[in-house]
Structure 1
Amino acid sequence: MTELAIAGAVLRLRIEGAEKRYGGVRALAGVDLSVRAGEIHALLGENGAGKSTLMKVLAGAVLPDAGSMWLDGEPYAPRTPGEARAAGIAMIYQELNLCKHLSVLENVTLGMKGARSAAMRTRLVEVLERLGVESFGPRTIVGTLGPGDRQLVEIARALMSNARVIIFDEPTSSLSAPDTARLVAIVRDLAERGVAIIWISHFLDEVKEVAERFSVLRDGQSVAVGRETVLATTDHMVTLMAGRPVEDIYPRSERTPGPTRLRVDQLSGASLPKHASFALASGEVFGVFGLVGSGRTEMLRALYGLDPAASGIAHLDGQPISPWAPGRWLKHHVGLLSEDRAHEGLAIDLSVADNVALSSATRVATLGAVLTEKHKAEAAAPWIGALGIKTSGPHQAVSALSGGNQQKVAIARLLADGAEVLLLDEPTRGIDVGARVDVYALLDRLACEGKTILVVSSYLPELLGICDRMAVMHRGELGPARPIADWTEEGAIAEAMQGPEGREASR
C-alpha cells in the first residue's frame, strides 16, 4: 500500500477532479479534497455549493461523471453505499437514518453478517463504553432516545463497521449545548485514534473551534484550503464561501417599516408549532430561524391552511381572516412559497409563461374565456424583465432553468397574482451564490416598495444579512422578535438550541 503524507500525517482520503452534472446543472466542477488520518477537516460552502453531492459521491450514493479517489493510497470507486461502508466510509446525515421501532443493537448491525450473535452484542457494548455511553444499552428502543443519543447510535454503527472516514453532515443542528459538547469531545477522541473526520456545518464559530483544516467549495469548485487559523473572522469565512465581501452579498436598504399588515396570535399545529405569535409590518423583511425539527416550516403550513391548525387567530390589515385556506389567503393577496418548489411552488414541466400566468388563467377561465399562448407570454414578459429571470424566452420549460431562476419564477408567480404579503420558506435553498444575491436584492427591493416579507430559513447568515427583525423557533415555540442589530450568530444559535434563556446565557 502506498502511503501519501502531508506534514508527516498519513493521507487517508484523496479526491481529484470530481465532476457531476444533473441535466444542465454542473453540481461538481473538478473538485479536489484531501483529508489526513486523525484530523477533523471542515467542508465549507453555502447552500448549493456542492458539499452534499461530493459527500454522496464519497459515500457511494452518487456515481461521479469524472474524477478519481484514493483511500489510504489505494484506488477507491464505490458503486453503492454498501461498497463504501465495506471500505470504511461512514456518513452520518443531518436527518438520522435510524429505525425508531428497532433496538440499538438491531439498528447498529442492520445488514451485517452475524447481526444477532452474542459476539456482535459484546462488541457493541465495548463500542458504547468507548463512547462513554451510560444512558442506554444494546436492547434500548431507538425511538425512546433523544437527538443526542440517537446520534451516538449512528456513531456506534460507524465504529462497528470499522470506519476509517466518518462524515458528519450538520451534526449539531438539532442538539442541545450539552449534547453538542459531548459530540465534539467524542469526535476529537475519534480523531486522536486515527479516524479521519469530515465536518460539514453552517455554524461557522463551531467550525473554528472544532476543525484543524478546512476546504471551501463554491459553485461546485474547490476555491480554498487551509488551516483553521486562517479563518480569523466569520465575515472572512463567508467571503471565502461567497466569493465577494459580506456587504455585497446581503443588500439591505435604509427603510422605515410601516403599519402592521399581518398579525398572528397563539398559532399551534397538530404537533408543531406549539405556540407562535408574531406581527409583520409593511415594508419589512422579517426572519424566522430554527434548527431541524423546530417547527418553522410547520408554522407556515398551518397558517396557510396546508396542514390543520389546532388554534390561532390572524388579522390582515386589522380584519380577521378565517378559516385559513390557500384560496382565501390568495384572495387577500397573501402568497406562500414552499421550500419544496418543485412539487408545491411550480408546475415544473410547464413553461415560464404558463407558471407566471397560472393564476390569471384561473381567473379568466371563471369568466368563460381562454388565455392564449400570446396572452400568457405578454403577461409573463414584464416579470421576466423585472426579476431578471435568465431564460431563452417565456415558452422555455421551467425544468430547464437553473435553481435560482426557478426560484425567481416561483416568486414572479406570487407577484403576478398580486401578493402584498410574501411568506417564503427556505427561498434560497439549493441555488448558487450569484442567484442568491439576486434573490436577496429582489427581496430588498420588494420591501422598499412596501411589500411585507416573512423569510423562514435554516441558514442563519442570510437572515442576519437581509432581515429587519428576526425571531427564533425552539422546539415549536417562537421566541420574541428583535431588531436584527440586537442579534449575533452566537445568540441566535444558543436560543435555537436552548430557548430564550440560552441566548441570555451566551451574552
Structure 2
Amino acid sequence: MSDGNESEALLQVVDVHKRFTGVYALRGVSLTFARGQIYHLLGENGCGKSTLIKIISGAQPPDVGELVIDGKRHAHLTPLEALAAGIETVYQDLSLLPNMSVRENVALTSELAEHGGRLARVFDRRALADRAGRALAAVGLPADADFQATLIEALPLATRQLVAIARAIASEAKFVIMDEPTTSLTQKEVANLIAVLTALRGQGVTVLFVSHKLDECYAIGGEVIVLRDGQTVAQGPIADYTKAQLSELMTGRELAHARYRTQAHSAPQVVLDVRGLGHRRQFRDVSFALHRGEILGVTGLLDSGRNELARALAGVAPADAGSIALDGVPIILSTPADAKRHRIGYVPEDRLSEGLFLDKSIRDNVVTAMISSLRGRFGQLDRKRARALAQQSVKDLQIATPDIDKPVQSLSGGNQQRVLIGRWLAIDPRVLILHGPTVGVDVGSKDIIYRIMQGLSERGIGIVLISDDLPELLQNCDRIMMMSKGRMTGEYRADELTEAELYRALLAQAA
C-alpha cells in the first residue's frame, strides 16, 4: 500500500492467485498493510474479498503467492498459525459457539492460540473472566458475571456481533479482520465501534474492515482497497474518493444515488390494518395502515421493538394483543403457516439461520413455500413445474447462477437474498415484510433489490420495510414510522426528509 514501506509493514500479500474449479477468485493481488492503520476492503460480492480474508486468516491456502508477516515469509498459514501470528478474524457468520457462554466465546480463542490449539483441562476462571470483562467493556457490553455467563444462543443478533468483536480484542491481536461487523448494529452501536477502532489504531493494531456501508467507512477514515473480478482496481486514502467513484469502481458501472421512489404507487385501499398490536413487553399499542402498493418503512434503535414487530407480522413470534385485518377481513397470525396462507411473505433479517436451506438447491429454496400446490394427485412433487417456477424467479430477480440445481450456499449474499425474495413472490403475495433486506449485500445487489422492490410496489403489493439503514428508507419508502421503547412514536413523509433530520429524530425519540 501507499502509506508504509517494507520496514513499517506488518503484513504483505504478495502476488496471490486463487482459482476454484477453473474460475479465478484472485488474480495477482499484492497489498502491504502498515501497523496501526485501518483499511477498508470494498467490492461486490464475488469480487474476491472473502477469498482474500480466508487466505490471510489461514482458512484457505493460495494457489500461487505468499504472505509476509513481520518479515517472515509463509507459502500459506493454518488457522492456528494465523492466530499465533496475531491475526484475528470476525467473520460475517460470527463463528460463535451458541451453546457456550459469552465468557467462554470471548476468552477461549486466545487460550487456543497461546497453547498451540489445545485447551487446558482446568481453566483459570478468574483470568478468563478478567480477560472477557475487559474486552466486553471495550465494545460497550456489560462485563458483569451474569452477562458473561449468558449463553450465546440467548442473545439477539446485534449483541452477538459485539461479542464476536470483543473476542478479537481479547486475543490482543496485531491484525484484526472485521467482515461486515456492523450488519445488525444500530447507529449508536456503530458510533461505539468506531471509537473502539480508533483505540485499536492508537495501540498499533492494523484493522482490515470489510463493509458495504460507505458512510461508515468515511466516518472511520483510513485507506481503501477496491477489488473487482479478483483484482485490485483502486487503493489509497478513502477521503480521495467520492461515493459515486467508489460505487463505479466496485461495479464497473454508474449507479443511481437519488431516490428510487420517484412517485407514490400506493392506492387508497388499505391492504393491512394493524390496531393496538402488542407482544409481551417487547412492543405494545402499535397501529398503522398499509395501503395497496405502498412501501412503509419502520425504523428505531435496537431495543425499539421493530425486530419483534416484524416477527409478529410474519407469525414467527405472534402478538398477544391487538388485531390485524387483511383487505378488511380480520385474520390471526399464530404461525408462519398462517401468514403464508393469507399471502403474507416474510424475508427475515438473518437469511443464513432463519431463511435459507443452505445445502439445498436454488430450485428447492425457491419452491419451498409452494410445495403443497406443486404436488400431484398422488402427493408427488411436479418437478417440471417446480423447475419452471425456479427458472422464472432466477430470470425475474437477476439471480446470477449457471444452474438452479446448485446449492444456494454457492451464491453471493446478494443472490441468496434474491432467492429468498423469490420464494415469497411465488405465493403471489398481498403483503411483503422485508426485514433488513440488504443486510450484508454489496452496492450492486442493493441497486437490484431496490429496483425489485419498486417493481413489486407497482404491481400493488404492500411492503413493510423494517430497517436501520436510513438512506435505504429514504430512497425507497413513501412513509417512515419510528419506534422507540416498544411504541410507534412518529411518522414522516420520506420525500420530505434528509438523512440528518431522520437521524436527529431517531436520537430524540430514543432520548
Band of TM-score, shorter chain: 0.7 to 0.9
CA distance in structure 2 between the partners assigned to 1:11 and 1:72 by the alignment: 7
Secondary structure in 1 matching 2:8: strand
Secondary structure in 2 matching 1:6: coil
Secondary structure in 2 matching 1:247: coil
Q: Residue type matched to 1:35 in 2?
A: F
- The structural deviation recorded for 1:322 is 1.2
User: Which residue is 1:505 aligned to?
Assistant: none
User: Which residue is 1:254 aligned to?
Assistant: 263
Root-mean-square deviation (Å): 5.0
CA distance in structure 2 between the partners assigned to 1:457 and 1:254 by the alignment: 21
CA distance in structure 1 between the partners assigned to 2:225 and 2:12 by the alignment: 13
CA distance in structure 2 between the partners assigned to 1:458 and 1:128 by the alignment: 29
Query: Which of residues 450, 456, 478 in structure 1 aligns to 2:460?
Result: 450
User: Which residue is 1:34 aligned to?
Assistant: 32
Q: Deviations over 1:429-469 (max 9, x none)?
A: 56665554333322222211222123344655444433333
Asked whether 1:500 is paired with 2:509, we answer yes
Distance 1:96 1:142, change over 3 A: farther
CA distance in structure 1 between the partners assigned to 2:439 and 2:139 by the alignment: 36
Q: Residue type matched to 1:158 in 2?
A: S
Query: Which of residues 448, 468, 475 in structure 2 aligns to 1:438?
Result: 448
- The structural deviation recorded for 1:93 is 5.7
Q: Deviations over 1:265-306 (max 9, x none)?
A: 444446756775443222223334567787655433332223
My pick for the range that moved more, 301-310 or 200-209, is 200-209
Secondary structure in 1 matching 2:450: helix
Identity rate, percent: 32
Asked whether 1:157 is paired with 2:173, we answer no
Q: Deviations over 1:139-190 (max 9, x none)?
A: 786358996996895465132xxx3223345556677878766654554344
Distance 1:457 1:139, change over 3 A: closer
Contact 1:51/1:217 (<8 A) preserved: yes
Contact 1:104/1:153 (<8 A) preserved: no
User: Which residue is 1:319 aligned to?
Assistant: 329
- The structural deviation recorded for 1:86 is 0.9
User: Which residue is 2:219 aligned to?
Assistant: 209
Distance 1:71 1:221, change over 3 A: same
Contact 2:436/2:467 (<8 A) preserved: yes
Contact 1:250/1:437 (<8 A) preserved: no
Superposed counterparts of 1:361-372, under 5 Å: 362-363=372-373, 365=375, 372=382
My pick for the range that moved more, 486-495 or 81-90, is 486-495
Q: Residue type matched to 1:452 in 2?
A: G
CA distance in structure 2 between the partners assigned to 1:207 and 1:401 by the alignment: 28
User: Which residue is 2:9 aligned to?
Assistant: 11
Distance 1:310 1:156, change over 3 A: same
Query: Which of residues 340, 351, 359 in structure 2 aligns to 1:330?
Result: 340
My pick for the range that moved more, 84-93 or 290-299, is 290-299
- The structural deviation recorded for 1:85 is 1.8
Q: Residue type matched to 1:209 in 2?
A: A
User: Which residue is 2:254 aligned to?
Assistant: 245
TM-score by length of 2: 0.73
Asked whether 1:421 is paired with 2:431, we answer yes
Superposed counterparts of 1:129-208, under 5 Å: 142=148, 154=167, 156-159=169-172, 163-169=173-179, 184-185=194-195, 187-208=197-218
Secondary structure in 2 matching 1:480: strand
Superposed counterparts of 1:14-413, under 5 Å: 14-18=12-16, 31-45=29-43, 50-64=48-62, 66-76=64-74, 79-92=77-90, 100=101, 102=103, 110-111=111-112, 112=114, 142=148, 154=167, 156-159=169-172, 163-169=173-179, 184-185=194-195, 187-218=197-228, 221-231=231-241, 233-247=242-256, 251-259=260-268, 260-269=270-279, 277-289=287-299, 296-338=306-348, 339-340=350-351, 344-345=355-356, 349=360, 352=363, 362-363=372-373, 365=375, 372-376=382-386, 386-388=396-398, 396-397=405-406, 399=408, 402-403=411-412, 407-413=417-423
Contact 2:19/2:25 (<8 A) preserved: yes
CA distance in structure 1 between the partners assigned to 2:105 and 2:423 by the alignment: 47
Structure 2 alignment gaps of length 5 or more: none
Contact 2:4/2:32 (<8 A) preserved: no
Contact 2:314/2:333 (<8 A) preserved: no
Secondary structure in 1 matching 2:36: coil
Q: Deviations over 1:369-406 (max 9, x none)?
A: 8664445556666655544556668x745649744555
- The structural deviation recorded for 1:107 is 5.8
Number of equivalent positions: 491
- The structural deviation recorded for 1:246 is 3.7
CA distance in structure 2 between the partners assigned to 1:92 and 1:453 by the alignment: 33
CA distance in structure 2 between the partners assigned to 1:439 and 1:65 by the alignment: 35
Structure 1 alignment gaps of length 5 or more: 503-507
Contact 1:255/1:448 (<8 A) preserved: no
CA distance in structure 1 between the partners assigned to 2:284 and 2:27 by the alignment: 44
Contact 1:290/1:458 (<8 A) preserved: yes
Distance 1:219 1:442, change over 3 A: farther
Contact 1:104/1:137 (<8 A) preserved: no
Q: Residue type matched to 2:351 in 1?
A: D
CA distance in structure 1 between the partners assigned to 2:139 and 2:352 by the alignment: 41
CA distance in structure 2 between the partners assigned to 1:470 and 1:122 by the alignment: 43
CA distance in structure 1 between the partners assigned to 2:165 and 2:395 by the alignment: 51
- The structural deviation recorded for 1:227 is 0.9
Contact 2:103/2:129 (<8 A) preserved: no
